């Protein structure tokens, strides 16, 4: 029997505060609510969802490398603030052969100028942003179609 393919959903710093952190920008859904919906959606699409969050750059890099080593079907990543600062995360994503989809709740290009550069986006197949929590669901649909 074939093993269920896995899609990693990785979340960066401060996303553990969703639901209370600037709801006018990020919405009222908590990260747990998003995880629950994605696990259900992923199951319906025939995928196991490995959903994780860390405030630590090195931990995110370890998980990216793990996804590569385990030949995950895809990585969905909301690197949060690291999107605009982390060459290390960029390099880790570039080093694995797993397709990458960038996710953002808000639309970074409509916010402060420092958010306009995305090191994650430079290696991602596609970016889903500005749709609130629905950005994750749209990215999962796209990843499942690979």
Task: Indicate which residues carry an active-site annotation.
Answer: 26, 104
Distance CA 146, CA 131 (A): 22
For residues 99 and 33, is the Cβ–Cβ distance under 8 A?
A: no
Distance CA 78, CA 70 (A): 20
Compute CA 16 distance to the chain's CA centroid, rounded to the nearest angstrom: 13
Instruction: Name, in order, each residue with C-beta under 8 angstroms of 90's C-beta and a sequence gap of 6 or more.
Output: 119, 120, 122, 123
């Amino acid at each position: 029997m074939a093993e269920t393919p896995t899609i990693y959903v990785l979340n960066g710093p401060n996303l553990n505060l969703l639901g209370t952190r600037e709801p006018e920008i990020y919405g009222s859904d908590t990260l747990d609510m998003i995880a629950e919906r994605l696990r259900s959606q992923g199951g319906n699409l025939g995928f196991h969802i490995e959903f994780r969050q860390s405030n630590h750059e090195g931990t995110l890099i370890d998980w990216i490398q793990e996804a590569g080593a385990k030949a995950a079907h895809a990585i969905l990543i909301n690197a949060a603030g690291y999107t605009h600062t982390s060459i290390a995360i960029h390099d880790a994503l570039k080093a694995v052969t797993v397709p990458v989809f960038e996710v953002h709740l808000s639309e970074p290009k409509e916010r402060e100028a420092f958010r306009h550069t995305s090191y994650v986006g430079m290696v991602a197949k596609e970016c889903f942003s500005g749709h609130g929590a629905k950005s994750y669901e749209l990215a999962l649909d796209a990843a499942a179609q690979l």
